[in-house]
Amino acid sequence: MKLLFEISRKGHKSALIPEADTPVYELPEAFKRSTPVRLPELSETEISRHYTKLMKRTFGVNDGFYPLGSCTMKYNPRINEDMASLPGFKDLHPLQPEHTVQGALEVFHETGKALCEIAGMDAFTFQPAAGAHGEFAGVMLIKAYHEARGDLQRTKIIVPDAAHGTNPASATMAGFTVVNIPSNAAGCVDVDKLREAVGSDTAGLMLTNPNTLGLFDPNILEITKIVHEAGGLNYYDGANLNAIMGITRPGDMGFDVIHINLHKTFSTPHGGGGPGAGPVGCKSFLADYLPVYQVVNGGYGFRFDNPAASIGSTKAFYGHFLVIVRALTYIKTLGAEGIRNVAVHAVLNANYMRNKLSEYYDVAYDRLCMHEFVLTLQGIKDKYGVSALDVAKELLDNGIHPPTMYFPLIVHEALMIEPTETESKETMDEAIAVFKKIFELILSDAGSLHSMPLSTPVRRLDEVGAARNPRLRFGV
Ligand SMILES: *Cc1c(COP(=O)(O)O)cnc(C)c1O
How does pLDDT run across 248-299, given as a tens digit for each residue? Answer: 999 999 999 999 999 999 999 987 777 899 999 999 999 999 999 999 998 7
Measured from the Cα of 133, ligand 1's closest atom is: 9
Determine if ligand 1 sits within 6 Å of the CB of residue 134.
no
Question: Can you tell me the distance from the alpha carbon of 55 to that of 50, in angstroms, rounded to the nearest whole number?
Answer: 9
Question: Can you tell me the distance from the alpha carbon of 303 to that of 97, in angstroms, rounded to the nearest whole number?
Answer: 10
Question: Can you tell me the distance from the alpha carbon of 433 to that of 420, in angstroms, rounded to the nearest whole number?
Answer: 18
In this structure, what is the dihedral angle of CA atoms 365, 369, 374, 376, given to the nearest 10 degrees?
A: 30
Question: Can you tell me the distance from the alpha carbon of 66 to that of 275, in angstroms, rounded to the nearest whole number?
Answer: 19
Q: How many CA atoms lie within 13 A of 437 on its CB side?
A: 11
Question: Can you tell me the distance from the alpha carbon of 64 to that of 240, in angstroms, rounded to the nearest whole number?
Answer: 21
Determine if ligand 1 sits within 6 Å of the CB of residue 209.
no
Question: Can you tell me the distance from the alpha carbon of 238 to that of 258, in angstroms, rounded to the nearest whole number?
Answer: 6
Mean pLDDT of the chain: 96
What's the 262 CA to ligand 1 centre distance in angstroms? 11
From the list 281, 255, 277, the residue with the least C-alpha distance to 113 is: 281
At residue 386, the 3 state secondary structure works out as coil
Determine if ligand 1 sits within 6 Å of the CB of residue 398.
no
Beta bridge partners of 280: 125, 259
Give the gyration radius of the chain's Cα atoms.
Answer: 25
Do residues 167 and 159 touch, judged by C-beta distance below 8 A? yes
Length of the chain: 476
Residue 68 is predicted with a pLDDT of 96
At residue 297, the 3 state secondary structure works out as strand
Question: Can you tell me the distance from the alpha carbon of 402 to that of 357, in angstroms, rounded to the nearest whole number?
Answer: 15
Per-residue DSSP letter, 214: S
Closest residue by Cα to atom 14, ligand 1, is: 239
Determine if ligand 1 sits within 6 Å of the CB of residue 211.
no
- CA 191 to centroid of chain Cα atoms: 27
Question: Can you tell me the distance from the alpha carbon of 333 to that of 341, in angstroms, rounded to the nearest whole number?
Answer: 13
pLDDT of residue 169 exceeding 70:
yes
pLDDT of residue 335 exceeding 70:
yes
Do residues 158 and 202 touch, judged by C-beta distance below 8 A? yes
From the list 133, 85, 126, the residue with the least C-alpha distance to 109 is: 126
Question: Can you tell me the distance from the alpha carbon of 388 to that of 442, in angstroms, rounded to the nearest whole number?
Answer: 12
pLDDT of residue 476 exceeding 80:
no
Per-residue pLDDT tens digits for 360-385: 999 999 999 999 999 999 999 999 99
Determine if ligand 1 sits within 6 Å of the CB of residue 279.
no
Task: Look at 54-68, 72-86, 173-187, 263-277 and tell me which has the smallest mean pLDDT.
Answer: 263-277
Determine if ligand 1 sits within 6 Å of the CB of residue 208.
yes
Determine if ligand 1 sits within 6 Å of the CB of residue 130.
yes
Per-residue pLDDT tens digits for 349-358: 999 999 999 9
Determine if ligand 1 sits within 6 Å of the CB of residue 239.
yes
Per-residue pLDDT tens digits for 144-167: 999 999 999 999 999 999 999 999
What's the 117 CA to ligand 1 centre distance in angstroms? 21
From the list 110, 181, 26, 99, the residue with the least C-alpha distance to 330 is: 110
Exposure of 224 by Cβ count < 10 A (0-12 exposed, 13-18 middle, 19+ buried)? buried
Tell me the percentage of the chain whose pLDDT exceeds 70.
Answer: 100
DSSP 195-210: HHH-STTEEEEEE-SS
Do residues 271 and 71 touch, judged by C-beta distance below 8 A? yes
Determine if ligand 1 sits within 6 Å of the CB of residue 261.
yes
Measured from the Cα of 134, ligand 1's closest atom is: 9
Q: Between β-strands 302-305 and 294-297, what pairing exists: parallel, antiparallel or unpaired?
A: antiparallel
Segment 7-29 mean pLDDT: 90
At residue 320, the 3 state secondary structure works out as coil
Question: Could you tell me the pTM of the whole model?
Answer: 0.93
Segment 125-129 mean pLDDT: 97
Per-residue DSSP letter, 344: H
What's the 278 CA to ligand 1 centre distance in angstroms? 9
Segment 48-66 mean pLDDT: 93
Question: Can you tell me the distance from the alpha carbon of 330 to that of 264, in angstroms, rounded to the nearest whole number?
Answer: 12
Determine if ligand 1 sits within 6 Å of the CB of residue 68.
no
Q: How wide is the angle at C-alpha 103 spanned by C-alphas 136 and 279, nearest 5°?
A: 15
Closest residue by Cα to atom 5, ligand 1, is: 131
Segment 183-198 mean pLDDT: 96
165-192 burial: b if 16+ Cβ within 10 Å, else e: ebbbebbeebebebbebebeeebbbbee
Question: Can you tell me the distance from the alpha carbon of 139 to that of 72, in angstroms, rounded to the nearest whole number?
Answer: 24
Closest residue by Cα to atom 2, ligand 1, is: 239
Residue 17 is predicted with a pLDDT of 82
Do residues 172 and 155 touch, judged by C-beta distance below 8 A? no
Do residues 280 and 292 touch, judged by C-beta distance below 8 A? no
Exposure of 276 by Cβ count < 10 A (0-12 exposed, 13-18 middle, 19+ buried)? buried
Identity at 25, one-letter amino acid code: Y
pLDDT of residue 52 exceeding 90:
yes
Determine if ligand 1 sits within 6 Å of the CB of residue 131.
yes
Alpha helices in 206-320 (DSSP H): 220-229
Per-residue DSSP letter, 403: P
